[in-house]
Amino acid sequence: MSGPRLTEDELIATCFAPLAGPGGLRLLDDAALITPPADEEIVVTTDALVAGVHFFGDDPPGAIAKKALRVNLSDLAAKGAEPLGFVISLALAPKWEIEWLAAFAGGLGEDAHAYSCPLLGGDTVKTPGPLTLSITALGSVPKGRMAPRTGVQAGDRIYVSGTIGDAAIGLKLRLAEAADAPWRAGLGEQDRAFLLDRFLLPQPRMALRAAMRADARAGMDVSDGLIGDLSKMLKVSGVSATIELARVPLSPAAEAAVRASPDLFEVAVTGGDDYEVLASVDPEAAAAFEVQAQAAGVRVTAIGTARGGAGEPPVFLDFRGEPRQFARGSFSHF
Amino acid sequence: MSGPRLTEDELIATCFAPLAGPGGLRLLDDAALITPPADEEIVVTTDALVAGVHFFGDDPPGAIAKKALRVNLSDLAAKGAEPLGFVISLALAPKWEIEWLAAFAGGLGEDAHAYSCPLLGGDTVKTPGPLTLSITALGSVPKGRMAPRTGVQAGDRIYVSGTIGDAAIGLKLRLAEAADAPWRAGLGEQDRAFLLDRFLLPQPRMALRAAMRADARAGMDVSDGLIGDLSKMLKVSGVSATIELARVPLSPAAEAAVRASPDLFEVAVTGGDDYEVLASVDPEAAAAFEVQAQAAGVRVTAIGTARGGAGEPPVFLDFRGEPRQFARGSFSHF
């Protein structure tokens, strides 16, 4: 069975209504209703993904759905926000198939459940172009507790969660150009699978959100590359920083790849799609932040220190303590 | 000057940051922050638009931006919600020009200001396909006061705001096929301009929102055609209705077109893009609803009465009092 045989209403009833939370009004309404928790503020974030630009059109549909939701959840995590729900705009390319859409909705539903972030509503349209998704996620934080991007202060410790560069190296693995790259052959089967999966399926650091609320003066998620995103956060905060590249946490798989092909280090720190959390923490709160992160099961690593110097780009020290320049700070999907 | 010479950050700073409300955090953050009014619920609505599907790619960029925002504002109006702000996802086609984008942002800003609905944030990506926009608008209503789509009760009077069919006939005028249609020639210059403008620039019935909150048991906006949208509202409410087509309000321009070409009546009531409000009102509240709508300067017309009969399609009586069937109830962009 293929093609647009269902009406939009049938499609919604079949595939998406089962995912709706109470605020989604069974998707029978043209709007959703949220009762924000008392004394909380609403955090709103939105991310768009285009087939062939942000994901491979032939990725499993459930994984595409999960990535679209998770990149938004990652923003909420970095802000210390509890998910309230999300809306999705789906522009379907010609010749979409109901099986594809059912699998897409299935993956979306699994994550909506797993992350307690119910579907609130959405819009489904057709496009002569590639599949295009836009998700807007809503979350809540106690008043005044959102970790803003602009809050870095001189003296703060800069932390990053998890490991950096896995997805960017995983993307290289996916691309045909890497098929006969020597470093690819040198990676074990498990390492390859790990890196590919990190590109396919981000792991938003939801477990870190309480620590972000409690102890982070500033936060953002790393989506466009560590170097570029960190530079942005410092710039809008009106400070600079010194970052030690040797401290940037790499997974064993990424380390193996970088060992085989040192150029991949730059890919790792500028390539993007990490969906890890950058946090700027008052040194007096650093111990508490580390304890809370550890208790939440999330590795956080201090990679440097913020300092005064509005407008000065951050200094990235290489393994020998020498400043290192990067040709491009971040991957731009734009 | 053309093409993607600006980075995404420069683009945001140049074109969009001036539109941001306080919750938009100067668009320096990757999330927006809203403080909902005490004891209010948040209404969320989202609509996607694709060039060549929902609007003409060569429409003035400011008008495209306004339409994208207004179709969402129309949803808020129908729900009785006060606008809080909106986020926008913008997938730009190759070869976009900065002048185009500046004009787009200019139009968006005019409406954000005019409708007190500030820009909160967004995402800008590139697409190999057509320009694709998705806006999610947030509004607020006092707890329990949102006019749901599902609230129609037997005995309710069914009202519609403004006039129906102008945009659908305006679209016919735009399309080449109408170039030598006799009815086109019979329309005056002013009528043609009015109908074309109704397609290009919806007029969301914001002035009606207080009346919707106060007196409507159910509400939705007419975006996909009166017949289809009303049938949806009745179906999800578990009721039926008798509607008198002679009462459906037509503008003088639409009436002139229908007089010249009677087939256009079906276009008018099924064609969509009206962005008028459908309201279901307890007969005891009808007088109050009419008074409040009139005081707000919005014409509302009672077109029929809801009655029991879950699952029965509504009966549409023609000008002679005979039931009339429609081949298709609504225009589907899907």
- Identify the structural domains of chain A with CATH numbers, from first to last: 8-142 (3.30.1330.10), 157-317 (3.90.650.10)
Q: What is the pLDDT of residues B64-80, one digit of tens each?
A: 999 999 999 999 999 99
pLDDT at A19: 80
Subunit contact B44:A121, Cβ cutoff 8 A: yes
How many residues appear in chain A? 334
User: CB contact, 8 Å: A295 with chain B?
Assistant: no
What is the rounded average pLDDT of the residues B138-149?
A: 93
* Look-up of token digits 């945001």: B12
Q: Does A27 touch chain B (CB under 8 A)?
A: no
Give the residue among B280, B281, B265 at the shortest CA–CA distance from B232. Answer: B280
Please give the pLDDT value at position B3: 45
Q: Do B121 and A46 touch (CB under 8 A)?
A: yes
pTM over 0.80: yes
Instruction: List the 49-88 stretch of B: residues with Cβ below 8 A of A.
Output: 49-50, 52-54, 75-76, 78-79, 81, 85, 87-88
Q: What is the mean pLDDT of residues A71-91?
A: 96
Whether B178 has a pLDDT exceeding 70, the answer reads no
Number of A–B residue contacts, CB under 8 Å? 218
- Is the pLDDT at B1 greater than 70? The verdict is no
A34 touches chain B (CB under 8 A): yes
Residue, of B332 and B242, whose pLDDT is higher: B242
Instruction: Give which of B217, B137, B229, B43 is closest to A32, Cα–Cα.
Output: B43
Q: State whether residue A136 sits within 8 Å of chain B by CB.
A: yes
- pLDDT tier at B210 (50, 70, 90 boundaries)? very high
Average pLDDT, chain B: 91
The shortest CB-CB distance from A53 to any of B11, B90, B125 is to: B125
Residue contact A148–B29, C-beta within 8 A: yes
Indicate whether A323 pLDDT > 60.
Answer: yes
- Helices A98-114, A61-78: axis angle to 10 degrees equals 30
What average pLDDT does this structure show over A192-221? 96
* Residue B254 vs residue B22, higher pLDDT: B254
ipTM of the predicted structure? 0.90
Closest chain B residue to A50 measured between Cα atoms? Answer: B127
Taking the Cβ of residue A232 and every Cβ of chain B, the question of whether any pair is shorter than 8 Å is answered with yes
The tokens describing B109, both together, are 């800003």
Contact B164, B249 (CB under 8 A): yes
CA pair distance A315, B125, nearest whole angstrom: 29
Residue A330's pLDDT band (cuts 50, 70, 90): low
* Residue A117 CB coordination number (10 Å): 25
pLDDT, position B211: 97
Q: How confident is the model at residue A176 (pLDDT cuts 50, 70, 90)?
A: low
Give the sheet arrangement for strand A300-307, strand by strand.
Answer: A216-222, A276-281, A157-161, A300-307, A240-244, A315-317
**Alpha carbon of A9: minimum distance to chain B alpha carbons (Å):** 9
How many Cβ atoms from other residues are within 10 Å of residue B214's Cβ? 14
Q: What is the largest CA-CA distance in chain A?
A: 63
Residue A138, beta-bridge partner list: A44, A85
Closest CB from B25, B75, B332 relative to A31: B75
